[in-house]
Amino acid sequence: MQSMKQFLIYCAFVLLITHQTVWSQSVYFDEPVVLNDTINSSAEESYPMYSSSDSTLYFVRSLHAQNIGGVRSGQDIWYTKQQPSGEWAEPVNNLETLNNRNNNAVVGISQTGNTLYLLNSYQSEKKEFPGIAFSFGIDQSWRQPNDINIPGLEEKMGNFYGIYVAPTEDIAVASLQIESSKGMEDLYVSEKDLQTGEWSELIHLGEMINTEGYEISPFLSEDKKTLFFASNGHPGYGNTDIFVSYRQDTSWTNWTKPENLGDGINSAGFDAYLSMASNGKVFFVSNRYGSSTDIYQSRIISREEREQQMASRVIGGPGTGVVPEQNRNDEESELDEETRALLEETQALLDEFKRANNDGDDTYDSGSNTTEPEKTFDENTVYFNLNSSELLPASYSDLKESMDMLQENPNLYVEVVGHADDSGGKDYNLKLSIERAQSVKKFLLNQGVEERRIITYGKGSTQPITNNSSPDGRKQNRRVVIGFGQ
């Protein structure tokens, strides 16, 4: 038995390295941890911004009783300092010159740490004006903010917009909807003329970045070549995921195709507001475990470190994404649970390797037949073969019903949620569920449905509708569920 385990571990690890090569990613992150209750409250936390110069984390609290004006007023800036022990001090919002009854947030910190850039104009406390401002200070004693004029911000449509100002204080990336936007909030950039001090008109970052959905919470690297942002318009694990794209030249309109940061950072919930500090600390917000957003911390790691983490999953160590099968009978229990999990993980990686190296033509089915399982529930559910994201011919009648529903009700939007059985590990199942949802989305787009009406999710194997202990149960869990909303 032990020699079989060792063989499976070796095979799984070798296949894992191949798997990582197939799903190449240019930036890797340590497993994120949620900050403790000192920082995260029952209210909404967002906009984390870390100052390396004095180990201070600025963030926003919304719907909090201690905000200026109370729960129903605007959001306040809070801050906390990280102690030498690594613990965080109790956050406070005693920033009298920076907080008022409007929405306040730190959207940029200078390299020296003595200048904060702030969301919104400070010309009036009675009415909120779109814009940004800056304030000088030391030891949290900040002067009255001065407004900055960025042409185009005043054209903002709707209630939502955001800005990030680089530490060099000459680049601002804005998220807002104006008449020229492709969808909802799009990303734009404004450059500061260092001689005159004036900021340029907003420059649209182009259709490689912007979609008919929304792009929000931009963050630009120190070299101004790497852009992180959140979007619900690019393929993701949930409704809003964090992506990275790379600037191709000196213009602001030529970017690489955005890459999803993966299931370490992203979840089936809302993930956004990623920021980085010069010391490698990474912060972002997510509501993956509740209705309110909390702040998470991570760090950038090497590919080798990420491979070691993935290997620990394969060999059944901490963080493994393999879900043991339940309710086995005695005949199925010849192998112990750890060995069976290793075998399933190895087989899943092998299946993925075959599929990827045959340009998506996966004819290897690990014993499953090629017919769609009998549909016993939800009319708007379509099914998939093992390790496949290709639509089955039998699914087209169900998709036609969805098309008819959308054509008859032009105000409806459609949610396309992909699922997988538990045959593979967490990363693999999430990717497969996303690909299945994207296959349905592609079909709907080809039939003329507008992209803005389609929301895609990937749930991996986290929401089975029946037990995975039998082949028939696993067939029913390999599905995409299509729902409608207004």
Look at the block and give the residue holding tokens 């911004």. 49
**Which parts of 281-401 are beta strand (E)?**
281-286, 294-301, 381-383
Could you tell me what percent of the chain has a pLDDT over 70?
Answer: 79
Mean pLDDT of 196-205: 94
Mean pLDDT of 196-223: 94
CA angle (333, 337, 338) in 5-degree steps:
145
Would the pLDDT of 250 be above 60? yes
Write the Ramachandran bin of 332: left for phi over 0, alpha for psi from -120 to 50, otherwise beta. alpha
Would the pLDDT of 93 be above 60? yes
Taking alpha carbons only, the member of 218, 188, 379 closest to residue 284 is: 218
Mean pLDDT of 367-385: 55
State which H helix or E strand residue 40 sits in. Answer: none
Of the pLDDT bands very low, low, confident and very high (cuts 50, 70, 90), residue 353 is very low
Average pLDDT over all residues of the chain:
80
Phi, psi for residue 167 in degrees, rounded to 5: -60, -25
Instruction: Residue 407: count other Cβ atoms within 10 Å of its Cβ.
Output: 12
The whole-angstrom separation of Cα 80 and Cα 463 is 37
Mean pLDDT of 383-400: 86
Q: Where is average pLDDT lowest: 151-165, 283-297, 447-461?
A: 447-461
Would the pLDDT of 452 be above 60? yes
Q: Which of the two residues, 71 and 118, has the higher pLDDT score?
A: 118
Interval 18-28: pLDDT, tens = 443 333 357 88
The whole-angstrom separation of Cα 202 and Cα 196 is 17
Which of 131-140, 151-160, 375-384, 416-425 is the most confident on average? 131-140
* DSSP letters for 17-33: HHHHHHT--S-EEPPPE
Would the pLDDT of 377 be above 50? no
pTM: 0.65
Would the pLDDT of 99 be above 90? yes
Would the pLDDT of 446 be above 70? yes
Q: What pLDDT is attached to residue 151?
A: 92
> Which contacts of 205-209 are long-range, i.e. CB under 8 A and separated by 24 or more positions?
205/252, 205/253, 205/255, 206/252, 206/253, 206/254, 206/255, 207/182, 208/245, 208/254, 208/255, 208/256, 208/257, 208/258, 209/245, 209/255, 209/258
Q: Which of the two residues, 127 and 186, has the higher pLDDT score?
A: 186
Would the pLDDT of 51 be above 60? yes
